[in-house]
Amino acid sequence: MTKSTQDNKPIMVGDRTIPPPDARFITISIMGQPYEVPETLTILKAMEYAGYQFKRGCGCRGGICGACGTFYRIEGDHTLRTGLACQTVVEPGMILAQVPFFPSNRAPDLDLDTKTPADEQIATLYPEIFRCVGCGTCTRTCPMDIDVMGYIAYFKRGDIKGGAEKSFDCIMCGLCASRCPANISQFNVAMTARRITGARLTPRSEVTAARAEQVRSGRYEPMLAELCEMSAEDLKTLYVEREREPDLAKPGEWMPKDQTKL
Ligand code: SF4
Ligand code: SF4
Ligand code: FES
């Protein structure tokens, strides 16, 4: 049974779901139930328009957090498609289900101080990567257009840093893992590789280490205490009137006149 447009109320607060007055209504199926929704909405907003309230499966609403992975088919088309509910606009005949969480294999107790070479560490933690059959389903599934099969291939041949860089845009939606015939949780392998790369394969930044030492020394505690004592109005003035880096300043060349708080 199709729910009538009168049954559906524009119910949103905050990120408001207000369709344009002349929006055309289309029928989509959400979790097996048909609804009529304005054609201009994203899946996320269409679901809210239909009365769903998100407690899981929604976070940033901006394509960054990976919480809103969605599977769908278009009626009459055999292709199973994927997308982020906050980024994908509804289509007539869309039959969809959200996958806010997908069970995945995540290696526990990552030892970042080990002397084991990084490639061996990944191979030991995730031996299933060698079962990859090169089908490319993960790459076709990824809503971020990441070459998932490609980064798994990097890990298989021991290039942990290369795979970490190739997977950098991953938002951990889990859609790739949900379709892998080799049961690989690609995004967790990649996250582990990025952690290993950051901790073991990247030169230490002396500037960052020096700054961290300054923070640990308590140098900024009195300044923070002073800020905490200020009124909201004074804080606002301080923020607005702060000395700012010019837009076209070359990196590393500009310094504020008052350097007492650096
Ligand atoms: S879906 Fe799995 S088996 Fe297929 S290419 Fe991706 S990682 Fe390999
Ligand atoms: S690599 Fe996998 S988990 Fe990461 S964004 Fe792509 S589909 Fe999502
Ligand atoms: S809600 Fe964060 S990616 Fe969609």
Ligand nearest to the CA of 156: 1
Q: What is the pLDDT of residue 11?
A: 41
Ligand nearest to the CA of 166: 2
Task: Please say whether the beta carbons of 62 and 15 come within 8 A.
Answer: no
CA atoms within 13 A on the CB side of 63: 10
Q: What is the pLDDT of residue 248?
A: 86
Q: What is the pLDDT of residue 77?
A: 97
Could you give the 3-state DSSP secondary structure of residue 51?
Answer: coil
Question: Which of 4, 28, 48, 188 has its CA nearest to residue 92?
Answer: 28
Q: What is the pLDDT of residues 52-74, one digit of tens each?
A: 999 999 999 999 999 999 999 99
Q: What is the pLDDT of residue 262?
A: 84
For residue 15, the CA-to-ligand 2 centroid distance in Å is: 25
Task: Give the pTM.
Answer: 0.79
**pLDDT over 90 for what percent of the chain?**
79
CB within 8 A of 31, min separation 6: which ones?
Answer: 96, 97, 98
CATH topology of domain 25-98: Ubiquitin-like (UB roll) (3.10.20)
The token pair that represents 54 in the structure block: 């998100």
pLDDT for 21 beyond 90? no
Domain regions of the chain by residue span: 25-98, 118-201
**pLDDT over 70 for what percent of the chain?**
93
Mutate to test the pocket of ligand 2, among 102, 186, 191, 194 (most ligand atoms within 8 A of CB): 186
Residue that the structure tokens 């069970």 belong to: 103
Quickly state the pLDDT bin for 2 (edges 50, 70, 90): very low
For residue 85, the CA-to-ligand 3 centroid distance in Å is: 7
Average of pLDDT values for 86-93? 96
Query: Does the Cβ of 65 fall within 6 Å of ligand 3?
Result: yes
Q: What is the pLDDT of residues 92-148, one digit of tens each?
A: 999 999 998 899 999 888 999 999 999 999 999 999 999 999 999 999 999 999 999
Average of pLDDT values for 179-194? 98
Query: Does the Cβ of 130 fall within 6 Å of ligand 1?
Result: no
Q: Whole-angstrom Cα distance, residue 114 to residue 125?
A: 13
pLDDT for 37 beyond 80? yes
Q: What is the pLDDT of residue 12?
A: 42
